[in-house]
Structure 1
Amino acid sequence: MDIQKFESYLKIKHSYYSTPSLEALNYYVRRFMITVPFENINVQNKIPISIDIKDLYNKIVIQRRGGFCYELNHLFATYLEHKGFHVTRAAATVHTPNGGRSPEGSHMSLYVNIEGTLYITDVGFGDLPTSIIEIGSKTQFIPTYDKNGVYRAVWINDNQYALQKLRQNKWMTLYEAHLKSQSIKDFEDKISYNEHHPHSIFVRHLLITQPQSFGRATMTYHSLTLSNDSTKHKYDVTTNNYKYFLKKYFNLNVSIIPFEP
């Protein structure tokens, strides 16, 4: 991976930080998230997913694309490791809005250890703030405020934490993750499931989302939603306008096969 080109694409000023720090970590997370969209277009187009770093670099930096959790977090973790951070790839189980759960450990999250404190640095989830989230002590929870809501991380037990979002004055769990370090190869069966299995949400639905200056833009086959913590506006997506929306809100220039004649 060409670090200089990676930083140039993300508009990271390499002279800002020379050593790992909280300030640097927050800066890198924000630059990645506002530059690289979460998207599963390759799954919808039936293009094989690669987790090889050279392929990820080519797709995201050279082709100006995005990806889903395994792609985005693996590439970002590799960059953070190059910058001297201690990064852990963690297996997480997503809680769905209807009370269900994803397959056990099917989401790949990230956390970084800085001087004994853990910080979630997940850039591949689709509903997270553009800053790190501290996993506080078992009695003190540190909220993270963002245009898209308020988030926190709490301990479930000594080996698990839950990432939560405040919704209608109630903390709702987005996912729960294990501290145990995983390699990207440990996720191969989960990647295969989310790439091919008919029950996978990424096989069943198009999902493109990215933070915006006003909050967040999210696009599916049916609608474009522009939202923040207090407002939401929806627009119909059609064969005629989907590429306009892709370019305007996600800086993507790619065809999505189901939209094409």
Structure 2
Amino acid sequence: MWSGEELDLDAYLERIGLGAGTGRAVRELRPDLETLYEVHRAHTAAIPFESLDVLLGRPVELEVKALEDKLVRARRGGYCYEQNSLLAAALERIGFEVSGRGARNRTRGDSLLAVTHAVLVVTVDGEPWLCDAGFGYMGPREPVPLARPGTEVRQGPWTYAVHEEEEGVLVLRARRGEGWWDLYAFSPQRYHPVDYVVLNHYSSTHPRSSFVGKTIVQLPGEAVRKTLVGSELTRLFPDGRTEREPVDPDRLPALLDREFGLRLPERDAAELVRIHRSGD
């Protein structure tokens, strides 16, 4: 389903720091929980969330070879459809059973938003696990169990839980300080790669999409989560504290490299600076 047979798995593993020459390779790539944790954790640490191609007016392609060229070989990042399509292809290639889901973002309070987020459900030994490398700085770094809703899961200093609502809707929540925040909700309905093509078209082209005309780059770090939205860099800490820092347009390329490990080609970096200078 996810065209895993087309993926250069060795190149992908090198990209996320699990290749043979990195010293962090998993002992054996097999469809078990240890491998799932290792790959998910390494992917989210290595490949930043970013939607710069949308800002630059370029098409976002979801075919495996296009994802490999961009996120693996060019060492770029991507947003949810790219990140989770690539992760799904890798997991499928390893031998996991992977299915898609469509989710509604709930980080904007009571606003009812359309289903525009792509997540994965991976089944291991008969139990489902939520896998998501594409929710940016607030997303989980590791798989989250779905078999026992309400169970709190610690991922380093960060805590997540999945709660069940009516009609089988599941909600991923994260602890911030003393409270819980809904991140997104999804139903049991399976989504396929062709469904993500439609959602991707909306997210990358519709004038009401939150990605159109805006710089968004994020990374879910271990000790601090970072997000660049527009010309402001925000750092989020496990206790709920935030630090905000304005970014001068001319410093954007250097900041992307330093904070997110993202090095843009000279032409793209110059265009990004121009857009921010003009305020377009």
Structure 1 and Structure 2 fold alike (TM over 0.5): yes
Matches within 5 A, 1:12-51: 12-13=18-19, 14-51=25-62
Question: C-alpha displacement at 1:213, in angstroms?
Answer: 4.3
Establish whether residue 222 from structure 1 lines up as the match of residue 231 from structure 2.
yes
Letter in 2 for 1:259: H
SS of 2:59's equivalent in the other structure is coil
Residue 105 of structure 2 aligns with which residue? 94
Establish whether residue 248 from structure 1 lines up as the match of residue 258 from structure 2.
yes
What is the aligned counterpart of 2:135 among 108, 125, 136? 125
How far apart, CA to CA, are the structure 1 residues paired with 2:155 and 2:236? 12
SS of 1:202's equivalent in the other structure is coil
Question: C-alpha displacement at 1:15, in angstroms?
Answer: 4.8
How far apart, CA to CA, are the structure 2 residues paired with 1:22 and 1:157? 29
Q: Where does the alignment leave 5 or more consecutive residues of structure 2 unmatched?
A: 1-6, 20-24
Question: C-alpha displacement at 1:204, in angstroms?
Answer: 4.4
Moved more, 19-28 or 147-156: 147-156
Question: C-alpha displacement at 1:171, in angstroms?
Answer: 3.0
1:66-89 CA-partner distances (Å, limit 9, x unpaired):
111100000100100011111111
Letter in 1 for 2:17: K
Letter in 1 for 2:30: T
1:162-200 CA-partner distances (Å, limit 9, x unpaired):
111124534332111122221111123321111111111
Moved more, 11-20 or 85-94: 11-20
Q: How many residues align?
A: 258
Q: Where does the alignment leave 5 or more consecutive residues of structure 1 unmatched?
A: none
How far apart, CA to CA, are the structure 1 residues paired with 2:125 and 2:234? 39
Q: Would the aligned equivalents of 2:54 and 2:213 in 1 still touch at CA under 8 Å? A: no
Letter in 1 for 2:276: F
1:2-37 CA-partner distances (Å, limit 9, x unpaired):
111111111115551232111111110110001000
How far apart, CA to CA, are the structure 2 residues paired with 1:148 and 1:65? 27
Letter in 2 for 1:93: R
Matches within 5 A, 1:193-212: 193-212=202-221
What is the aligned counterpart of 1:4 among 10, 19, 22? 10
Q: Would the aligned equivalents of 1:36 and 1:65 in 2 still touch at CA under 8 Å? A: yes
Question: C-alpha displacement at 1:242, in angstroms?
Answer: 0.8
Establish whether residue 152 from structure 1 lines up as the match of residue 158 from structure 2.
no
SS of 2:28's equivalent in the other structure is coil
What is the aligned counterpart of 1:53 among 42, 48, 64? 64
1:232/1:170 CA distance change after superposition, 3 Å: closer
Higher helix fraction: Structure 1 or Structure 2? 2
1:149/1:99 CA distance change after superposition, 3 Å: farther
SS of 1:229's equivalent in the other structure is coil
What is the aligned counterpart of 1:115 among 125, 131, 143? 125
Question: C-alpha displacement at 1:212, in angstroms?
Answer: 2.5
Q: Would the aligned equivalents of 1:136 and 1:154 in 2 still touch at CA under 8 Å? A: no
Q: Would the aligned equivalents of 2:173 and 2:180 in 1 still touch at CA under 8 Å? A: yes
1:62/1:177 CA distance change after superposition, 3 Å: same
How far apart, CA to CA, are the structure 2 residues paired with 1:97 and 1:15? 38
Question: C-alpha displacement at 1:148, in angstroms?
Answer: 6.2
Q: Would the aligned equivalents of 1:194 and 1:202 in 2 still touch at CA under 8 Å? A: yes
Letter in 1 for 2:118: M
How far apart, CA to CA, are the structure 2 residues paired with 1:240 and 1:204? 18
TM-score for both structures, normalised by structure 1: 0.92
How far apart, CA to CA, are the structure 2 residues paired with 1:31 and 1:209? 16
Letter in 2 for 1:237: V
Letter in 1 for 2:39: Y
Q: Would the aligned equivalents of 1:37 and 1:208 in 2 still touch at CA under 8 Å? A: yes
SS of 2:218's equivalent in the other structure is strand
How far apart, CA to CA, are the structure 1 residues paired with 2:112 and 2:105? 6
What is the aligned counterpart of 2:275 among 251, 258, 261? 258
TM-score for both structures, normalised by structure 2: 0.86
1:212/1:174 CA distance change after superposition, 3 Å: closer
Of all paired residues, the percent bearing the same amino acid is: 24
Q: Would the aligned equivalents of 2:132 and 2:140 in 1 still touch at CA under 8 Å? A: no
